[in-house]
Structure 1
Amino acid sequence: MIPAPFDYVAPSTVDEAISALSEAGEDAKVLAGGQSLLPVLRMRLAAPSTVVDLGKIAELRGVREDGDTLVVGAMTTHYDVQRDPLIAEHAALVRAATDTVADPQIRHRGTFGGAIAHADPAGDLLAPVLALDCELVLAGPGGRRTVPAGEFFQDLFTTALAPDELLVEVRVPKHTGWHAHYEKFNRVAQAWSMVAVAVTVRTDGGGIAEARVALTNMGATPVRATAVEAALVGAPASADTVRAAAEHAAEGTNPAVDGNADAEFRKHLARVLTGRALTAAIG
């Protein structure tokens, strides 16, 4: 299908983009990599009055250090995140999850911030962002504000972004030396996750000193598996510890029922995949 008519704006600065959104009102849509928006427009599931293309805003690209934090520009492509040495050294979980996103063609076009702002509960970057306690920097007419990941994802495809705000960067706390793994289950290669688990742990002297675990597609938003984390911290890094902790993975979740799986099967997958992810991360 052909999209409904809309006005097109391609600003070169963040301020220009915010002005364009403010002028267009709630019917505007932001175009980042376009891998989620363009199919929606073609199917006429959305008919915005204005599309604001961020592709010319150079300041929104790249990865840099800021003390104990990595700052990832919202328009940084998945391909660039995969290959960035700072990500590899300090945010192994982000690298592991990004490796599973769709296919190489989409990873060259899709953007880190675009995937997060889209807030698809089956998306592969939301759970890692939640697990790592990332902060999202939003820019609007009143300036910039920082929102913790736990408050950013509010409901199905719904975030803390106001209609006249942009996600401009993601602040990722460094987890240098932590072990990480992203375990994903889907019907076919490169498909959306039916369920996935993001795990990063810090070991010390044969024991688990710290753990972060989050689940993909186990609710309307990514879910932090706090019961699993509590069962891991202070325990020996052993197969018995992993098995016991993984049994808590589905606690507090509310998975959807669809053509791929019912809720009970997704809960079963969460437990199995958490065990696999922990085993792979701890080694």
Structure 2
Amino acid sequence: MIRLFQIEIQKLWKNRASKVLTITYFVLLTLISLIAAIEFDIGPIHISVADQGVFNFPFIWHFNTYVADYFKIFLAVVIVSMMANEYSYGTLKQNLIDGMSKKEFVLSKFITVVLFAFISTLFVFIVSMILGLMYSSYTEVGIIFSQVDYILAFFVKLVAFFSFCLFLGVLIKRSAFALGFLFFWFLFENISFAIIKYGILRRKDSEEIWVDKVYDFLPLESMSNLIVEPITRLNFAKTIGTQVGIENVKDYSVHYSTMLIVLIWTAIFIFGSYYIVKKRDL
């Protein structure tokens, strides 16, 4: 396994584009701290993000993992390109000639996926811990770690998303088309859901709930459900909701049933990648 890891790291480090994208990704993660400087007005209400408690424990785990998730597209490009380059440069065939099995090849890619997800999660954990200890009004150990399961959800979400990118890279073999299909699938899940729920089935509450349940099992939607948006938990959002008479009943917690769905999709993507590589004439 160490040998497979070394091979993949060497390939990535020698690719200038991958190196730049990876460094850019981690630089952007560190810039989460600048969110504290954001200030804006909504009508007569002046809002300073720093005053909303975004860096308070335990809310910071939810907020930072949600924001950091938007940057994962940088590593998605790296992973898709990593797979596409195997076909373009013939390194996949050369690895097989040199004695690497197809199973080891896919395993090496999955190790890279898990490594990216683990380092990203560890990075977000460290940044969140530092910011929380600096700005949080609550520093009791029990409070600090009371919602740290968002970190686990973030890791599982990244592994699943990167596994999906790997699967598309194996299936399509061209990075631009693979990323295009990823975007298409994102639009498909969201647009088809909106058409069915708010168009075809509007005002039929029981059927709308049924549609929600079905779409919760789709890959990108299930990943999205792991960490729901945290903005409506902030003080200014609650104030605005109260003023307009909207009661917030959203469930923000991490559900392990959703995590199980995401892990099943991860297994499908990895075994699907192996099946394609195994059956394809390389």
Per the normalisation by structure 1, the TM-score is 0.26
Structure with the higher helix share, 1 or 2 = 2
Q: Which has the larger radius of gyration?
A: 2
Pick 1 or 2: higher relative contact order, CA cutoff 8 A, min separation 6. Answer: 2
Per the normalisation by structure 2, the TM-score is 0.26
